[in-house]
Amino acid sequence: MTEETVQDAPAEAAPPAPEPAAPAAAPRRRRTPKQDPLLVADVATARAGVEQIAEPAQIGTGHRVTVEEDRLVVHHFECTLPGYRGWNWFASLARAPRSKAVTVCEVGLLPGDDALLAPEWVPWSARVSPEEKAQEEQDRAEDEAAENAAVGGPTGSGDGAADGAVAPAEGEGS
């Protein structure tokens, strides 16, 4: 006689055990980008790029260069527009590896360290004093009362139109 065995149902797949965390790697030092002499020296191309969005008289003489990445620099010029004290025009220049052609990537206007900036936006409810809020509510209530009086009150015409009666048209007899 053979003995029959009941095979166990396949075990449900258990979620895999989390792998042990790798030791935290020390943060990699980012190397300082190399200064590209061709891009740094090309002030004329940077100024011409800014002149696409500003008049030449609005671009000041102050000039500095920041190196963002290899073969990418940003030229900064003073802004002489009234009301923009401390702001700088900028033109970012780049070039492809082993190429001598300089490309203007982006131009614009950025605030400097001593630029005048607009204050943070504050919601109306935080700016208004309690007295002003009370006055606003009173004015609103008076306006609503005046509108209700004009719509629902007597017209003062005395022709019965307020009662819903319709006057007969001229030439019609009753």
pTM strictly above 0.85: no
Query: pLDDT value at position 9?
Result: 45
**Nearest Cα to 50, choosing from 82, 76, 71?**
76
pLDDT tens, position by position, 127-153: 888 888 889 899 999 999 998 888 875
Query: pLDDT value at position 111?
Result: 92
* CB neighbourhood size of 103 (10 A): 13
pLDDT tens, position by position, 47-93: 999 999 999 999 998 789 999 999 999 999 999 999 898 999 999 99
Query: pLDDT value at position 153?
Result: 58
What is the signed CA dihedral for 170, 171, 172, 174, rounded to 10 degrees? 100
pLDDT band at 24 (very low <50, low <70, confident <90, very high): low
Give the tokens for residue 116. Answer: 């005048």
- Range name among 1-10, 24-33, 107-116 with the lowest pLDDT average: 1-10
- Strand pairing class (59-69; 72-79): antiparallel
d(CA 75, CA 89): 8
What is the signed CA dihedral for 130, 132, 137, 142, rounded to 10 degrees? 150
Between the CA of residue 41 and those of 3, 46, 64, 92, 151, what are the distances in Å?
Answer: 92, 10, 11, 13, 76
Does the CA dihedral 148-149-151-153 come out positive or negative? positive
pLDDT band at 15 (very low <50, low <70, confident <90, very high): low
Beta strands in the chain (DSSP E): 59-69, 72-79, 87-94, 103-111
pLDDT tens, position by position, 27-51: 776 788 888 999 999 999 999 999 9
Query: pLDDT value at position 13?
Result: 54
Query: pLDDT value at position 2?
Result: 41
